[in-house]
Structure 1
Amino acid sequence: MTDESARSTSRVVVVDDHTTFAELLSDALDRQEDLENAGTASGVREGIELCRAKQPDVVVMDYHLPDGNGLDAAREILADRPATRIIMLTGNAAADILAQAAGSGICGFLPKDGSLTTLLDTLRHARSGSMVIHPSLLALVGKPQAPEAPDAPALTTRERQVLTLMAQGHDVRANAKHLGITENTCRGYVKSILAKLDAHTQLEAVAVAGRLGLLATSNHD
């Protein structure tokens, strides 16, 4: 019973130089049955060393840190332990930062002023190889651009519909329900979109689609 409980608990490290935020989040983690506070750090180097020592399942990382940025720390942590799930927080996201995040291997990008419930749910469901990004941040990456680039890949009407929903920050389940298709079918469209846009994640696909002007016409098919 104890072993089963231990296996179902995700150990979380918090890397943030705002002491009050770090303490509040750590306290919240201590109250969760399926999440465990594995320690806090206030900078890039301290966070990397803490992750090497504690080997957490999930890391909550502020983007802006005193001795660097969270993406640099995330790359080094993932180089040491690729299965680590990293959720990045930021108070003032920029499109270029989110574009860099697309290929970094992190699992999520959330606004720092978002709800605690959303953050805890993201920690619970973070998976390596996937990426969750809050709609308010995704909108920065997926701003429509016109006209459509002449070298943009051809997408079917349904692929454009799925792409538009992706750019709005919806997950596969919500997209499938909205379009009246199965989740497996929706995942198939997502895979096709990623292949056509030469993207590895949904965030990267939205960023590429925005640059190519594909989002400008997605709602009109």
Structure 2
Amino acid sequence: MEGGESEAVFAAFNLNPQRFINEVLNAVDDMLDGAFDFFLQQATVITGGGTERTEELARGVSSLRHLTQAVLDKRMAIWEKYCLRHCFAVPEGFVLPKAKESSGDSLSIQKGLSDPELDAQLESLRENLAAAGKKSAELHEEMTLLEKQSTLSCSYDASVADALQLFEENPVHDMFQEIGKTALELHHKMVQVKMKRWEDMEQARVAKIHNSSREQPMLHDTGISARLEDIEEVLSILRSK
């Protein structure tokens, strides 16, 4: 497409390729000027302020500047032509959209952006995200509470274990075991005494029915002597403990 038509197309989109190229060229020139100005300042420092040597270095820097500027101008001119012919060239057959079509497209775009179904989906996603965040906070609180409970439980178990260890190491534990053993022996002996008394009473009752009155005191005396013997045996168990 010819230059005039290309410029019209770019102007329709508020674009100016030539202005962009000119700004790039000016920026390159500024960089080149700044670089060689710095070289001239360093030349004065290197020569120590001597007039002859400073002038010689200045002439050398100026020659290099002109040589560099000439080469750079050629390169930048080639770059400018390339940009205008290829980078900023409008394809053949390109037609600008009409105003009505443009407005219609913008309306369709706005309609697409304001789709109620899409808005509802976005709102649902926001609500789900908020609910998930709330649930995550609740789970975090529960985990913190469980960690505290676990710490307290471990501390309690450790305290109980320490108390049991102290109790087992204490000689009082042996004394309680001995008392328990003695109590079992006494209980067993008391059961035997009770059974023996019941047998004596049964024998006395039978003897009272079937035997004469002369034999009853003898059986009665036997029961009393048996009980005294049992009592003495219980006392001997207690003394031995």
Q: Same fold (TM over 0.5)?
A: no
Which structure dedicates a bigger proportion of its chain to helix?
2
Which structure dedicates a bigger proportion of its chain to strand?
1
Q: TM-score, normalised by structure 1?
A: 0.17
